[in-house]
Amino acid sequence: MTAKKKLSKLDQALVNEIVTGVIRWQLKLDFILDKILSRGLKHTDPQLVNILRIGTYQILFMNKIPDYAILNETVNLTKYLAYKKYATSLVNSVLRELLRNPELNKAPDREKNLLDYLSIQYSHPKSLVKHWLRIFSEEETEKLLEKNNERAKITFRINNLLASNEEIKQYLDENKIDYSLNKYYENIFVINKSSVSLEENPLFKEGKITVQDASAVIATKLIAPNENSFVIDMCASPGGKTCHLADMMQNKGKILANDISKQRTDLIVENINRLKVKNTEISISNALNINEDIKADYILLDAPCTGSGIIRKLPEIKYLNREKTLKKTVEIQRKLLEKATKLLKENGVIIYSTCSIEPAENMENVMWFLKNFPQFSLEKADNYVNSFFCKNDCVQIFTHIHDCNGAFAARLKHNT
Ligand SMILES: C[S@@+](CC[C@H](N)C(=O)[O-])C[C@H]1O[C@@H](n2cnc3c(N)ncnc32)[C@H](O)[C@@H]1O
């Protein structure tokens, strides 16, 4: 932490780029290194492997840094190792070999083994690629893998409680900030240059804008509460959707924003203070324990999930043991869905959402719910959200189609 504090903003950005990049491309980097190292990757000290990954990543993906600087800096990292002399000469020879021989960067032959090719070319675990090839076509899977490796642009939502869309546009134009408007929603903006940091921007500090992915904004739009509604947000931290709801309700009605984590609920407090949200009460508890005497008009269950829709932002997610995590996650999601039914007024609406593209967490959970709670029906999402984002009556967003995080949302209406 202390070391991080001493870094300039520029160096922090560089460290962030290298760390995220190495995680994103680890399988491809390891494939290349394994070919160069005579002992193979498995028999090389993990600390040295990490140093080699850092150097290899920069050579392959960071064109602005000259090769000699990458070589020097990577060799420098070996000075902390006990076997410095051996490590220095190994790093030198491996990186020089990589610079000499660009063929090393070639993925396995696609014709011989599609799975191996896709896994290495796009650096995603084979088990995940295999799973997606079962769900999507080959072409779609490849597009998804490719998009997952892009660096996402910064997206923000205008807090219409404090600012109009026109005011924000005028500020961005006057300050020559390059931005694009979302084609479908006028309160979603995208910053075109990744070097712009919003946290230091006065618009952000004054709460007029907030960083939020388009997929999250669109899922919240599916709720469409009335101004005087009572909404329970069962899993609310860090409060992105809570604050958007408050904006849609013009700070009227009431929102109970609950989360299991004290640390994460502190982030809701920060956000509601910055965005001047006034209609929200915060509670810290396992949502399964929320008092059932309270009944809401709308329940937002933005469930804990495997996060398979946000790999572009958090590449480490792709290395999770999917099979193991999925079973447990679906169990929790179903328990939370059942609990939601007990917190709802008659004729109320549950919005079930995830930031996953996994059918088991999305459509299959909705089917399970409708079967077990026949007093509910699935309302057509495209009555509330632009049909571009809808499939099978639900919001279904994919990074390779919609160019934002993957997400899912369903509107489940109670019928008396
Ligand atoms: C997808 S995030 C919610 C994001 C939030 N809705 C937003 O838009 O900013 C899921 C949240 O569920 C919380 N959570 C996990 N299990 C929970 C439980 N049993 N009860 C309440 N919250 C839970 C996590 O702490 C996490 O903050």
CA distances to 56, 279, 342, 402 from 350, in Å: 48, 20, 11, 25
- Residue 19 tokens read as 């760390």
Across 120-132, average pLDDT: 97
Q: Where are any strands of DSSP class E within 224-343?
A: 230-233, 254-259, 280-284, 296-302
Whether 163 is in the pocket of ligand 1, judged by its Cβ within 6 Å, is no
Provide φ and ψ at 230, rounded to 5°.
-110, 120
Can you tell me which residue has the tokens 């929200």?
280
Whether 236 is in the pocket of ligand 1, judged by its Cβ within 6 Å, is yes
pLDDT tens digits, 283-337: 999 999 999 999 999 999 999 999 999 999 999 999 998 888 999 999 999 999 9
The residue type of 367 is M
Across 397-405, average pLDDT: 96
Total count of residues recorded for the chain: 416
List the 154-158 sheet strands across, edge first.
179-181, 188-191, 154-158, 209-211
Q: Which of 235, 243, 305, 355 is catalytic?
A: 355
pLDDT tens digits, 74-86: 999 998 888 888 8
Whether 238 is in the pocket of ligand 1, judged by its Cβ within 6 Å, is yes
Report how far residue 228's alpha carbon sits from residue 238's, in angstroms, rounded to the nearest whole number: 23
- Distance from residue 87's CA to the centre of ligand 1 (Å): 44
Across 390-401, average pLDDT: 97
pLDDT tens digits, 158-215: 999 999 999 999 999 999 899 999 989 989 999 987 666 788 889 999 999 999 999 9
Q: Which atom of ligand 1 is nearest to the CA of 233?
A: 6
Strand bridging mode 344-354 / 407-414: antiparallel
- Distance from residue 264's CA to the centre of ligand 1 (Å): 9
Q: What is the dihedral of CA 396, 399, 306, 367, to 10 degrees?
A: 20
249: pLDDT strictly greater than 80? yes
* Helix ranges, 190-261 (H): 202-205, 214-221, 240-248
- The answer to whether residues 300 and 231 touch, using CB atoms and an 8 Å cutoff, is yes
- Residue 133: what pLDDT? 97
Whether 213 is in the pocket of ligand 1, judged by its Cβ within 6 Å, is no
Q: Which atom of ligand 1 is nearest to the CA of 304?
A: 10
pLDDT tens digits, 77-114: 998 888 888 889 999 999 999 999 989 999 999 999 99
Q: What is the dihedral of CA 136, 140, 142, 146, to 10 degrees?
A: -120
- Residue 221 tokens read as 């739009």
- Distance from residue 117's CA to the centre of ligand 1 (Å): 36
- Residue 5: what pLDDT? 61
- Distance from residue 48's CA to the centre of ligand 1 (Å): 37
Report how far residue 68's alpha carbon sits from residue 293's, in angstroms, rounded to the nearest whole number: 68
Whether 286 is in the pocket of ligand 1, judged by its Cβ within 6 Å, is yes
Whether 246 is in the pocket of ligand 1, judged by its Cβ within 6 Å, is no
- 36-50, 230-244, 265-279: segment of lowest average pLDDT: 36-50
Instruction: Based on the residue annotation, tell me whether 394 is a catalytic residue of this protein.
Output: no
Other beta carbons within 10 Å of 97: 14
**For residue 2, what pLDDT band results from cuts at 50, 70 and 90?**
very low
Report how far residue 27's alpha carbon sits from residue 212's, in angstroms, rounded to the nearest whole number: 29
Other beta carbons within 10 Å of 249: 22
In angstroms, how far is CA 13 from the centroid of its own chain?
19
Q: How do the residues of the chain divide into helix, strand and coil, expressed in percent and rounded to 5? A: 50, 15, 35
The answer for residues whose C-beta is within 8 angstroms of residue 281's C-beta and 6 or more apart is 254, 255, 256, 257
Domains along the chain? 2-106 (1.10.940.10), 154-211 (3.30.70.1170), 220-414 (3.40.50.150)
Whether 235 is in the pocket of ligand 1, judged by its Cβ within 6 Å, is yes
Q: Which atom of ligand 1 is nearest to the CA of 244?
A: 8
CA distances to 222, 274, 284, 290, 366 from 256, in Å: 18, 18, 10, 10, 24
- Distance from residue 237's CA to the centre of ligand 1 (Å): 6
Specify which residues 158 forms β-bridges with.
209
Whether 175 is in the pocket of ligand 1, judged by its Cβ within 6 Å, is no
Ligand 1 pocket mutation, candidates 221, 231, 235, 244, criterion most atoms within 8 A of CB: 235
What DSSP element (H or E) covers 409?
A: strand 407-414
4: pLDDT strictly greater than 80? no
Q: Report DSSP state, residue 36.
A: H
Ligand 1 pocket mutation, candidates 222, 237, 263, 270, criterion most atoms within 8 A of CB: 237
In angstroms, how far is CA 193 from the centroid of its own chain?
19
